[in-house]
Structures are given as C-alpha cells and as structure tokens.
Amino acid sequence: MKKINTRNLLLMCAGLISVGFLANVASATHSWGGYHWARTANPFALKLGNNLSSADWTSHLSATSLDWNSGNTPLITAIVAGTSNKRCSMVSGTTQVCNGTYGNNGWLGLASINITGGVHITQGSAKMNDTYFNTSTYNNPNERRHVMCQEIAHTFGLDHQSTDGSSQNSCMDYFSNTGANAGSNLSTKPNQHDFDELNLIYAHLDTTTTVLATAASSSANDIGDDPNSWGMLISQSGNGRSSTYENTNRDGSKTVTHVFWTLEAAAKCPSCDHRFEGH
C-alpha cells in the first residue's frame, strides 16, 4: 500500500513536470532538462556556499544573490559559509561556489549538478576560473558578474536563453562583456524571462526534499579536475562556447555539467570537444 502511494505521488510529480514542460515549450523554455530541487513547500532557501578567495568575487556573489532574489520566485538564495574545497567538491543540499586558478583548460566557468530520480537536483557547484579572469581580456566586473550569475543559476535548473553571443540582457546568454563591450553591464543580471521560467519550474511541490543536507549524497558523484570525469558530450552550441556533459554514476544518479568556454577555445574549433585540445 505504501509502495502504491509513493508511486502515485511520483507519477503526480512527473505529471506536473510534463504539464510544466508543455507550458515551457509554448513560451520558449530555458528550463535545463526539467531539473529542479525537490521541496515540500514554497518558497524555499537554496544555500550558496561561499568558498571564494577574494573580496571582489564575494561582492559579485552578494550582488547576484540579491539579483536572483529580486524576482518574486519560490527560489530564495541564501549565502552561507562554504564547506567545500578548492576543487569545489559538491556538498549535499547546497550549491558550492568557488574560484581558483584551475589552469589553461579553456573554460571560464563550470556548473555541475547531481540528479536523482531523473529530475531532482541533490547538490551543485559553480566554479570560476581565475586563470582567465586574471587576464586583461576577462578581468572586468561585468564579465565576472555575468559568468557568476549564469553558473550559479544553472544549479537552479536554468539553461541559456541564447548562446549565439547576442544580448538578451540576461546573464543566461552568451553576450561577451569583453573588448569593446568590457564596460557594458548588459547581460550581467537575470531578466523577467528568467524569473518567469523559475516560477514555471518551481510551480509544483514534491513529496521529498533535496534542499536539506542529507548523508545520502556522496563525493563519489562529484566531478573532478579531470574533464574526463564530466562524462559524455551531450550538446554544444554552434559557436562552440557552450557545452553540456553528462555522466552516469555508480549509484544510478547523474552528474550534468555546463561548460562556458573562453572565446579563444571556442574560436579554435567550434565543433570540437574542447576537452581534448591544447589550450
């Protein structure tokens, strides 16, 4: 009997997701695969663990957290002390936010989430690569804010609004705040469409919660510095700046990763898997 109830509730959840999905398609969705944090009530707090090593990055985290909280959506970000490490290992029930000189690996920003039950996010990480942000091309407040705003929001279950380089004036696009546009603050914040999408994604309630830390999640489902741990390349934008990877873990959960490549890595060979090129 208990089993049937659970199954019915799961079906109900799946049904609601399907309805949401159809609605999203009608309004040009940028939900990331229907992925969302499970929770039994709205609004809910998503903890952002601050592992940042500079006051500058911390100021961008504070600002982007406020920006995401300004949209009247069920998802409220709450900055807490970081409990990760430089590699930004994921911590159950949270998104860990990190910066570091991760090397000349071609990526500016990286966002990973673990998924159980097909759609539920159990933990996330957002990493900013100072190897590039410390160089003149990327070292400006607008580019830093844009990338941080986007990587964190991937862990909410949001995908891009656009990847062609045009500005939708949303940080979920690939406008580049570099070169002649270094002084432009276009695309450094979420826009109304992002908030609308979050309201769609989080309209339903679940019977379980993944936003509270549990012992169940494990670092075995983490992705490491080795890009082979990202798994299979699932999709890549035409200009090569945006890629998605997916790895199936031993416990049946999935880890999915969004990669924000540098201009240079993308331009070299837009259709290549940039993991296997020299940068």
Residues near Zn ion (CB under 5 A) are 13, 150, 206, 258, 260
Give me the residue label for tokens 């990338």. 147
Helices (H), the chain: 2-26, 55-69, 130-133, 141-154, 192-201, 263-268
How far apart CA 171 and CA 258 sit, in angstroms, is 14
Nearer to Zn ion, 151 or 222 (CB): 151
Are the C-beta atoms of 81 and 111 separated by less than 8 Å? no
Q: How far is the CB of 210 from Zn ion (least distance, A)?
A: 9
Alpha carbons 232 and 176: distance in angstroms, whole number:
27
Residues 6 or more apart whose CB falls under 8 angstroms from that of 7 comprise: none
Q: How far is the CB of 2 from Zn ion (least distance, A)?
A: 20
- Nearest to Zn ion by Cβ — which residue? 206
Nearer to Zn ion, 32 or 57 (CB): 32
Nearer to Zn ion, 91 or 115 (CB): 115
* 92, 216 contact by CB (below 8 A): yes
Q: Nearest distance from residue 55's CB to Zn ion, in Å?
A: 25
State in angstroms the smallest separation of the CB of 13 from Zn ion. Answer: 5
Shortest separation between residue 81's beta carbon and Zn ion, angstroms:
26
Query: Residue 7 or residue 219: which is nearer to Zn ion going by CB?
Result: 7
Min. distance of Cβ 80 from Zn ion in angstroms?
A: 23
Q: How far is CA 145 from CA 184, 204, 236, in A?
A: 11, 30, 23
C-alpha closest to that of 144 among 108, 112, 119, 94 = 108
Q: Do β-strands 242-248 and 36-37 pair in parallel, antiparallel, or remain unpaired? A: unpaired
User: For 85, how many CA atoms within 13 A lie in the half-sphere containing its CB?
Assistant: 7
